[in-house]
Structure 1
Amino acid sequence: MRTILFAALSAAVSTSALAQAEDPNLWLEDIEGQRAIAQVKQWNAATEASLTTMPGFEERRARALKLLNDPNQIATPDEVMGDLVANHWVDADHKRGLWRVSPLSAYLAGKPVWRTLIDVDALGKAEGKSWVWHGANCLPPEYQRCLVSLSPGGSDADVVREFDLAAGKFVEGGFTVPESKNSVTWADRDTLLVAMAEGEGTVTRSGYARIVKEWKRGTPWSAATKVAEASESDIGISPFAVMDGDIRRVAISRNVGFYAARVSMRAPDGHWVELPIPETAIFDAVVSGQAIARLVESLGQLKPGSVVAFDIAQMLSGQKPEPALVMEPTKSQAIEEVAATDNVLWVKALDDVSGKLFALRRQPDGSWSSKAMPLLDHSTVHIAGTADKQDIAFAAVEGMLSPTTLMSVDSTGKAATIQALPAQFDASKFSVDQRFATSKDGTRVPYFLVRRKGDSRPTGALIHAYGGFRAAQTPTYLTAQPYRSGPLGLFWVEQGGAFVLANIRGGGEYGPAWHQAALREKRQNSFDDLEAVARDLIRTGVARKDGVAISGRSNGGVLVGAAMTQHPELYSAVIAGSPLLDMKRYSHLLAGASWVDEYGDPDKPGDWAFLSNYSPYQNVRPGVRYPPTFFYLSTKDDRVHPGHARKMAARLSADGNRIYFHEYMEGGHSVGADRSEDAMRAALLWAFLTKEIGSGAD
């Protein structure tokens, strides 16, 4: 099943005299406040005035836009619907995209024949809305009716509307779920399961929906009946459905913690059964009557990180079946993605951060056979989609110097190229290496290094890292590194710099243990890992002592914020995108309460004791000179509050530190509602790095 991500509701900001005294920048948490927006516009203007006049800026902005809008793009299979493939396509003429379908046979032959269903730009213009595409959920096996999700301005909140695939238009009088942090799925053609945040009494402390209702066609929402409820202290609740061959299994996930969920499934007689699957396990898919999950903790003799199977029929009858081992990773592996077709389980694993794909089948005796798929070694592999009836997986394969190739793979190992992108730059000029740094506690930390061939003098180095939420950072083509900064990595190495992707602890590069090693009170390990990579680059002569820049986005904002406040002498420039920085107030802002399992609860003295040691905002010290910092974010981010970046910028600049600040009015947590804004950001960041740490070996 697709991972269900919850987004946040706006939280009220405390403006008491006591709070203002403790934090004089609290007014910047007023997201749309007149005073706060005026300050944002002033910072934006100053940043643009400083950087857009840099020689080479306009050239790189235009080139970034051309690269991002390159018509040679992979048309990814967002969903295979029977004999159709659906795709959301964005290009220079369609900034918000086209939702379209092609016959599967033509797509597999590499010659898709597209039929446009929704032109998102045209729809927004006609309806006077700044619509951003959030996806579609079409009801199998007919795939005639779809639930289309559209976000106004790119926030996590969206509107869900019923669409007739055959007619190619929205259903007049059909289902419409109003703007909210919605989670909606089909129970059947005339029934929806809806979790909607409707205000007081319907949301958890984290701001997510806490009630699932069953809504019948032709009845008002007020007549919808409650079928499940989470407590206020839970993270949230959401319905979903998966296909098990020809059987549609409808379920509800109650997230009792950020890393804990209890899944209930509807039995054939209509009643709901909570499945006896460990709540810390990750429910991934169903295949051959088995519920597939990844273990985060040991279960009997089964090790963390293993893929296991639970018999669905037995569970729905009230039994507690013993789990069967499907796949156990080696010490160097982590199982990162799991998907299912009618008869095959597809597993993508990382092996020292290189991707591998396996096809597994359940045998008559209940065991599982496994076959490695013949894909390019030392590459990033991503399961881009599946075709259920054909038992085909679509695998996207790429590397830092290798453009993406989309392949179809069947369970026998037969692979065919659907589409291979041409190179966007001359890769022969560059080299890519995987290296390992040693952290303070002796842990080997991998990182990927790209630079010009033959360069041996120390240069400016840009390190991008994340280090949290089990999210592995795998190498992708250099025109899309680092995340949401487009071709910044390419621009940097072309002029003689080094680009580094660091696989620090907190991510999922080596399974649950790698994540847990930087969880809560162990967070310092991720900062130490980043420091180890930086010092290794200096020690080995890759980076100048005054030429190390660091970049992080979202959770990566905590990382780079802590890094710069702990070692201001080590880092010479900092990029913080949509950053989390105020760990004292984070749990009271937007989605923050849902992350206490990752960071700890600052309202508990014991947790604040370790959070206060690194919280970037609270650790800015008067009189200390911090590296120049570029903050980029969005006013419409309803996941990480824009107040984090605003307040950090205010605190740093008040003491004379150089800050650059760029806040888009739209775009949500991803920042930037279209590629023209992404191109602008790539050029601004290039100009920032060039201005602050120079280029090449100078």
Structure 2
Amino acid sequence: MSWRNPSSRAITACYRPCRDPESRLDQRSRRLVRQNGAVTGDVDSSVNDPAGKVPIDDPYLWLEVVLDEQALDWVRERNARTKEEFATPERFQALQSSLRAMLDTDDRIPAPGRRGQYLYNFWRDAEHVRGIWRRTSMAEYRKSEPNWDVIIDVDALAEAEDENWVWGGATVFRPSQERALVSLSRGGADASVVREFDMTARAFLAPDAPDHGFYLPEAKSSIGWIDIDTVYVGTDFGPGSLTESGYPRIAKRWRRGTTLDAAETVFEGDPADISVGAGYDRTPGYERHYVSRSTDFFNHESALLHPDGHLQPIETPSDASESWYKNWLLVRTKSSWQVGEDTYPSGTLLATNFDEFLSGERHFEVLFEPDAHTSLYQYGWTEHHLILVTLSDVQTKLAVLTPGPDGWARSELSEAPPMATTTVANLDPLESGDDYMMTTSGFTFPTTLLAGTLGGELELLKQEPSHFDADGLIVEQFFATSLDGTQVPYFVVRKPGASGPTLLGGYGGFEVSRTPGYNAGNGIGWLSSGGISVTANIRGGGEYGPQWHTQAQKSGRHKVGEDFAAVAKDLVTRGITTPAQLGAVGGSNGGLLMGIMLTKYPELFGALVCQVPLLDMSRYHKLLAGASWVAEYGDPDDPDEWAFIKEYSPYQNVSKSASYPPILLTTSTRDDRVHPGHARKMAARLEEYGHNVWYYENIEGGHGGASDNAQAAFQGALIYEFLWTQLNR
């Protein structure tokens, strides 16, 4: 475990496999509706949920049945209406073509993933709509036109197998790199099929073949190598193997040549846990097996797994992030941690000797301590050094820490440009020494990829071309004052002194930081037309460390909306825009934010775009992956927590009499993370009350909303055309 991005935490989920994914999804959605207060067909809107705490008065529950023909007819009708209104003008067609050309161009940087001597890349373009997985050497990658070795052509595979495959990633066995565990999803869903691939023969290994390839049916599984013949796996093993949230409850060791049913259980969590997993650290001389259980989205427990099955807990705070490299244990706190007479504040990075820590010693060295303006963004090991990336008022700085007999020496790594984000990638301490790569991008200049070895010079590897004319554009940072006096930063991209149609973006959740970066689609679709672009760094994110997030969890959720509203008001006060010319866009948790803006602050906006959103917060925890987010939002089945959730839940707060700005809701039928029923039901209720609402649902795409470049270009053009039309009336 050598690299951590402290602003995110990933967990996996699984569902019962089925050979027909559409049938499986339909059956699951019907089951969810039946279990939680309604039946398919005629809906009795008077029933209460099973806990008897949140009354269900919802005539649109039938729209939660994802593949019900009545629901799909409803979707098709609204899709057609939206396309007729916004997808036919000449401006839309030109914009769609420009976005498609940008996505398909061969001039993009092929983002590398370093694995020893190889650089891997997944690539889509006009010729490879579904994409190709390929690799090359560092020497070849340096060339303007590298010679790529194509490993898997997803287009050819989908055609040969008559499947709607979308690439889901691959885990290569190391160091030999002779095998890979490849994930493929149908239509872009989170759930995927996992198949073992022979990198030499360039063929998938069937479970019944002589080599007995590892294979998992469609599910949200987790799987990782131990050795060439053994993996750790978490999936749906049958009744009782999932948590109440629908994630793996059991981790097993699975040996080649045996059935999945015969895999050996190494760890079981509780039904109330979010998920469990197991892994293997292959660092020579420091090999370790470990398990982890997530008790909620932000709290977990980890332990080393010894050969006799004994678990040795790693006794760090459950909300902290721990990682290790060789015999160093790193702990990044999320809340204040008192150890003996020492207290370490939230957002601190600590280091200690791992073996000594396991034996009970609690001596830490402070590697980073936050202040009012600075937080830790990334950290990771090379063979001999630790690289830190920090945010200072949402702008990055880099440093190198080197452990030695006299403590840790510190030096600056590189000067990062202002109004930009610089990050470090492709650290591979076991096979690539002190080599590293660095990417830098800003709102007005595209990504630069550099490479080097610590102590040496940086080499320019690739430069992304400009996809829009940024001449004359400037980037400014301002601060808005939120309702409680908190200073909330935001970035504005515009021509000097310009005012007019403005697009404001935000997220505000799960400690996800919104940092400066090149967005070619936004440049083509908005800035090039003379629009002004704004990025808000509201609470709920991680821009100022964990406390910037935790103060907006659960009962503090109102601060997210207050911060975003404060930025909207500040833009008007500064003369940058007017309410009629101010639009906002957000997706997923940001889609929830857009729903709150619509129902709580409608007077601040001229138009809103709400993508793959959460909106019915009385039922979010009952739909798909929603139960895992209770630690972020609260539990609607708890009367005390429902009391604050209902105050902002958009679906419950739609008013017949209010005056709302026009809104475009988008989602995906194949989104198996945030249920499309949220967007469907919100659109239906807004329609019922006579509000100006537009709706578009893509059949594919999963939570990302699109499964290929053509779909992404269409949706991008649709959104920008909608906003430009509404804000230029």
Q: 5 Å matches for 1:1-40?
A: 1=1, 4-7=10-13, 9=15, 10=28, 12-14=32-34, 15=38, 17=44, 18-19=46-47, 22-40=57-75
Match of 2:650 in 1: 616
Verify the 8 A CA contact 1:568 1:627 in the aligned structure 2.
yes
Distance 1:269 1:411, change over 3 A: farther
Q: What letter corresponds to residue 716 of structure 2 in structure 1?
A: A
Shift of 1:287: 2.2
Distance in 1 between the 2:89 and 2:696 partners? 16
Match of 1:482 in 2: none
Verify the 8 A CA contact 2:374 2:544 in the aligned structure 1.
yes
Q: Which runs of 5+ in 1 are unaligned?
A: 480-486
Q: Alignment length, in residue pairs?
A: 683
Secondary structure, aligned partner of 2:706:
coil
Shift of 1:281: 0.7
Verify the 8 A CA contact 1:245 1:287 in the aligned structure 2.
no
Q: 1:96 aligns with which of 123, 126, 130?
A: 130
Q: Does 1:308 align with 2:308?
A: no
Q: 1:287 aligns with which of 300, 322, 325?
A: 325
Q: How big is each residue's C-alpha offset from its partner over 1:553-582, in whole Å with a ceiling of 9 and x where there is no partner?
A: 000111111111012222111100100001
Shift of 1:250: 3.1
Q: 1:369 aligns with which of 373, 395, 410?
A: 410
Match of 1:662 in 2: 696
Shift of 1:262: 0.9
Verify the 8 A CA contact 1:583 1:611 in the aligned structure 2.
yes
Match of 1:323 in 2: 364
Distance 1:574 1:28, change over 3 A: same
Q: Does 1:352 align with 2:387?
A: no
Distance in 2 between the 1:509 and 1:146 partners? 36
Match of 1:591 in 2: 625
Verify the 8 A CA contact 2:230 2:253 in the aligned structure 1.
yes
Q: How big is each residue's C-alpha offset from its partner over 1:210-230, in whole Å with a ceiling of 9 and x where there is no partner?
A: 000111111111211110011
Verify the 8 A CA contact 2:584 2:608 in the aligned structure 1.
yes
Verify the 8 A CA contact 2:119 2:137 in the aligned structure 1.
yes
Verify the 8 A CA contact 2:375 2:391 in the aligned structure 1.
yes
Q: 5 Å matches for 1:128-527?
A: 128-172=162-206, 173-244=212-283, 247-267=286-306, 271-283=310-322, 285-300=323-338, 301-315=343-357, 318-367=359-408, 369-388=410-429, 389-412=432-455, 414-453=457-496, 455=498, 458-479=499-520, 487-527=521-561
- What fraction of aligned residue pairs are identical, expressed as a percent? 39
Verify the 8 A CA contact 2:503 2:585 in the aligned structure 1.
yes
Verify the 8 A CA contact 1:392 1:409 in the aligned structure 2.
yes
Distance in 1 between the 2:483 and 2:648 partners? 17
Distance 1:187 1:488, change over 3 A: same
Verify the 8 A CA contact 2:276 2:293 in the aligned structure 1.
yes
Distance in 2 between the 1:412 and 1:442 partners? 44
Distance in 1 between the 2:419 and 2:98 partners? 29
Verify the 8 A CA contact 1:452 1:494 in the aligned structure 2.
no
Match of 1:554 in 2: 588
Secondary structure, aligned partner of 1:459:
coil
Distance 1:142 1:666, change over 3 A: same
Q: Which runs of 5+ in 2 are unaligned?
A: 16-27, 49-55, 207-211
Q: Does 1:53 align with 2:59?
A: no
Distance 1:553 1:688, change over 3 A: same
Q: How big is each residue's C-alpha offset from its partner over 1:629-674, in whole Å with a ceiling of 9 and x where there is no partner?
A: 1111111111101000000000001111111111111111111001
Distance in 1 between the 2:409 and 2:221 partners? 37
Secondary structure, aligned partner of 1:346:
strand
Match of 1:484 in 2: none
Secondary structure, aligned partner of 1:151:
strand
Shift of 1:489: 4.7
Q: How big is each residue's C-alpha offset from its partner over 1:70-101, in whole Å with a ceiling of 9 and x where there is no partner?
A: 211112222x2221111111212112211111
Q: How big is each residue's C-alpha offset from its partner over 1:388-418, in whole Å with a ceiling of 9 and x where there is no partner?
A: 2332222221001010001114322632111
Match of 2:100 in 1: 65
Shift of 1:429: 2.9
Secondary structure, aligned partner of 1:429:
coil
Shift of 1:315: 5.0
Distance in 2 between the 1:383 and 1:33 partners? 46
Distance 1:207 1:607, change over 3 A: same
TM normalised by structure 2 equals 0.90
Secondary structure, aligned partner of 1:565:
helix
